[in-house]
């Protein structure tokens, strides 16, 4: 029987709060991110009636094309990548207010043309539109575009707001992040800057806060007295594809740990904010990051994948991937042990691991409680009492499960673990919105809660920068693991006695 899509109670009503008329400008409007994620997200918001009543879209990119050609490209991208089949009327109405400005980002004439298009929208509606500039470009253009916006007077707008959304990576070292912050904030106020981390737009990531602070059963045990250890895993079954140029200069540590995984850690470990105001939440997250010391070398493992079997097919090793230098020392896997040195978490190991070409794609947080003090259940056939675990799955199947010890039916007292599960798809009979839908909405709303602040970005880099620096002095051969496996055996050495990695 077909499942009827229903409104998601978690977002119902939120998307219909009044939003000031807005013009969204996508720099890099013909790029891969715009076509696969941003344009479909904008369509889905339009489909749900969540966009402001007056909404305009402008693409800016190097490709030479007309407004009509850009509309055709946008239509095809939405039809291919939208999470729902597009409605023709909704799509036509959305694309009717789309414009395109061709040119490179260092040319003043591009910004003058953009200024004219923005002004034309304001004059036609006889109101000043809020302006959202989304930087979906290579990181080398971030500072340049912001400087040009300032030079052409686009950083402010009469009786309306101008905001800039900046994609990752925000620098590749601490010094670069600090320099980029200085350059951006020389033009804009911090309140205008929205540094995006798309993981924070995922429902289960936001649900970390809901489960912690909306359920009285968790808060009493959310500390070092009851929690044994925490694992945060972000594994991918795919290789690097055609991203060799980017990935070989980034690696697993910069690509996922510095941003996504440290964000998950800070949400998991933060103290309850006084209110859920954006700065109150981010203040608490920054406190967590400041309490994390960079790990010593023996608490970090890096590795790269070799040839193996993935999804039933032969897969080449990282060094054989197209575009990867034969002498590359870039890691495709990293595992590290961190501690949050504060009253709540002192002494609790927090293990992070991420990698390409692992057994399957999964992102999850596993909180393992301390075992019960007396194990009396040793009957034959009993799995025995296992420590309780709370598993928050971010992808692919968003949800939460709790493992419990239960008696196996029969005449003897035999115990085995069982799971209680909550899944978004079955509980709400609704697709979770894509992360970019929530984040684009929040940027238009002027709510920066799910975006990273300048001090937050720098605090993340202060944890990661010493690791990168120590690797630069280390010529030890990288550990290796076969494609399609659980990762390198060396990862077990950072675990404390009695701890083990969850199967991927």
Tokens linked to 237: 């079954």
- For 134, residues 6+ apart whose C-beta sits below 8 A from its C-beta are 24, 25, 26, 27, 38, 165, 167, 440, 443
Answer whether 239's CB lies under 8 Å from 322's CB: no
- For 126, residues 6+ apart whose C-beta sits below 8 A from its C-beta are none
- For 205, residues 6+ apart whose C-beta sits below 8 A from its C-beta are 199, 263, 264, 267, 394
- Please identify which residue in the block is written with the tokens 């070989």: 248
Pairing of strands 308-310, 313-315: antiparallel
Three state DSSP letters for 368-389: EECCCCCCCCCCCCCCCCCCCE
What residues are paired with 98 via a beta bridge?
Answer: 57
**Alpha carbons 118 and 248: distance in angstroms, whole number:** 39
Provide the CA 253 distance to its chain's centre, in angstroms.
14
Supply φ then ψ for residue 112, to 5 degrees. Answer: -70, -40
Answer whether 190's CB lies under 8 Å from 454's CB: yes
Radius of gyration from C-alpha coordinates of the chain: 24
Tokens linked to 93: 């109405």
**Alpha carbons 325 and 385: distance in angstroms, whole number:** 49
Helix, strand and coil percent figures for the chain, each rounded to 5: 40, 20, 40
Count of CB atoms situated within 10 Å of the CB of 377: 17
Enumerate helices (H) and strands (E) in the chain, giving the number of each.
Answer: 14, 17
Answer whether 266's CB lies under 8 Å from 285's CB: yes
Answer whether 415's CB lies under 8 Å from 377's CB: yes
Tokens linked to 450: 């799910």
Residue numbers annotated as active site = 260
Of the candidates 92, 97, 31, the one whose C-alpha atom is nearest the C-alpha of residue 60 is 31
CA angle 167, 19, 153 (to 5 degrees): 55
**Alpha carbons 4 and 147: distance in angstroms, whole number:** 48
Count of CB atoms situated within 10 Å of the CB of 429: 13
């Amino acid at each position: 029987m077909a499942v009827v899509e229903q409104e998601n109670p978690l977002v119902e009503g939120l998307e219909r709060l009044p939003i000031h008329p807005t013009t969204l400008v996508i720099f890099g409007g013909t790029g891969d991110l715009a076509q696969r994620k941003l344009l479909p997200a904008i369509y889905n918001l339009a489909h749900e009636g969540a966009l402001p009543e007056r909404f305009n879209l402008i693409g800016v990119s190097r490709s030479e094309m007309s407004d009509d050609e850009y509309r055709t490209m946008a239509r095809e991208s939405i039809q291919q990548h939208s999470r729902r089949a597009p409605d023709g009327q909704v799509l036509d109405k959305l694309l009717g207010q789309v414009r395109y400005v061709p040119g490179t980002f260092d040319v003043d004439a591009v910004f003058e043309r953009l200024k004219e298009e923005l002004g034309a929208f304001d004059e036609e509606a006889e109101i000043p539109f809020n302006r959202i500039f989304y930087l979906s470009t290579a990181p080398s253009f971030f500072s340049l575009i912001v400087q040009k916006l300032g030079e052409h007077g686009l950083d402010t707008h009469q009786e309306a707001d101008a905001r800039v959304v900046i994609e990752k990576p925000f620098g590749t070292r601490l010094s670069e992040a600090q320099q980029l912050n200085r350059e951006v904030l020389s033009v804009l106020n911090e309140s205008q800057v929205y540094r995006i981390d798309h993981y924070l737009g995922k429902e289960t990531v936001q649900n970390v806060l809901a489960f912690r602070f909306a359920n009285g059963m968790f808060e009493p045990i959310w500390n070092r007295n009851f929690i044994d250890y925490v694992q945060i895993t972000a594994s991918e079954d795919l290789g690097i594809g055609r991203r060799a140029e980017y990935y070989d200069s980034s690696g697993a540590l910069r690509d996922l740990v510095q941003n996504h995984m440290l964000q998950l850690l800070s949400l998991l470990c933060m103290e309850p904010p006084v209110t859920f105001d954006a700065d109150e939440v981010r203040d608490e997250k920054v406190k967590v990051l400041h309490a994390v010391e960079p790990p010593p070398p023996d608490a970090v493992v890096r590795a790269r994948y070799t040839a193996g079997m993935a999804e039933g097919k032969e897969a080449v090793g990282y060094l054989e991937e197209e575009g990867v230098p034969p002498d590359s020392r870039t890691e495709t896997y990293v595992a590290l042990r961190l501690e949050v040195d504060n009253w709540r978490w002192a002494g609790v190991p927090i293990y992070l691991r991420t990698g390409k070409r692992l057994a399957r794609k999964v992102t999850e947080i596993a909180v393992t409680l301390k075992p019960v003090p007396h194990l009396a259940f040793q009957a034959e056939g009993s799995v025995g009492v296992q420590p309780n675990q709370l598993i928050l799955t971010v992808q692919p199947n968003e949800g939460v499960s709790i493992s419990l010890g239960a008696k196996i039916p029969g005449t003897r007292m035999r115990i085995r673990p069982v799971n209680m599960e909550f899944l978004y798809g079955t509980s709400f009979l609704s697709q979770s919105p894509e992360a970019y839908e929530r984040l684009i909405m929040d940027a238009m709303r002027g709510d920066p809660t799910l975006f990273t602040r300048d001090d937050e970005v720098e605090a993340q880099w202060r944890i990661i920068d010493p690791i990168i620096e120590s690797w630069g002095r280390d010529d030890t051969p990288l550990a290796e693991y076969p494609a399609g496996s659980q990762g390198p055996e060396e990862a077990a050495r950072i675990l404390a006695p009695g701890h083990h990695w969850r199967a991927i």
